[in-house]
Amino acid sequence: MPGLDKLGRLVSSGTKLIAVNNPDNPAGALIDEARIASITDLYERGISTGSMSKPYSLAGLRLGWIVGPARLLAEVATHGTTTPSASAASTTSRPASPWRTRTRASRAHRITRTNLAVLDEWVTGRDDITYVKPASGTTALLRYSAPVGSHESSPRLLGEIGVMFTPGAAFGIEHTVRIGFADDTATLRAGLALVGQFFDRLAQD
């Protein structure tokens, strides 16, 4: 993530878009409110989007929101998409009460805090896996030392032990994989144990 001074120097009259992903996916870096406010001073027009996926661990609902110019929102409203887990129209007509929203958010935060501690302990205990501990979000980017590209290791992890990672190469960062840690804690522990065994076997090959 560039510093604000560097970002300011990069912006010119020809700049078409400043895209900010906060918290970062996949690494979980977080830009604080003061920095976000400083970034907003660099542009005249903004679009803000959000979803239920990360804050509430409800990716399957495919629900979110967008704030922007009225003309743009009218175009967005006519856009269609195909997803493997489409939501029924009725799910958008009855927003959750503030109490339910806070309850779900608290539950999601409790799960991710617990699971991040589990993940951190596992990474700390291995010499072949490193990462920058996420400051927020539900994903982390694990760097491994095995001389196998992530487009090879990820399918093997899924096929051999049933654990699915996103190849780091998809983000332009080779020899890494993205892990999501918002599942139940027992599942995470079991999955990490299998991943450890997989990389132990790679080290012996």
Most confident of 34-43, 71-80, 89-98, 150-159: 150-159
Closest CA to 139 of 17, 8, 6, 30: 30
Q: Where, residue-wise, is CATH 3.90.1150.10 in the chain?
A: 99-204
pLDDT per residue as tens digits for the range 87-139? 554 445 455 556 566 777 788 889 999 999 999 999 999 999 999 999 998 99
Under CATH, domain 99-204 is a member of which superfamily?
Answer: Aspartate Aminotransferase, domain 1 (3.90.1150.10)
| Percent of the chain whose pLDDT exceeds 90 | 54
What would the mean pLDDT of 55-77 be, rounded to a whole number?
A: 82
Check residue 65 and give its pLDDT: 86
Q: Which of 205, 201, 132 is CA-nearest to residue 173?
A: 132
pLDDT at 93: 47
Question: Is the dihedral angle over the CA atoms 167, 23, 129, 122 positive or is it negative?
Answer: negative
116 three-state secondary structure: helix
Task: Report the pLDDT value the prediction gives residue 139, as an integer from 0 to 100.
Answer: 93
Instruction: Name residues whose C-beta falls within 8 Å of residue 47's C-beta, 6 or more positions apart in sequence.
Output: 66, 67, 68, 69, 72
- As a whole number of angstroms, the distance between CA 202 and CA 64 comes to 40
Q: Which residues contact 55 (CB under 8 A, 6 or more apart)?
A: 105, 108
pTM (predicted TM-score): 0.79
Q: Is 77 helix (H, G, I), strand (E, B) or coil?
A: helix
Higher-pLDDT residue of 55 and 21 is: 21
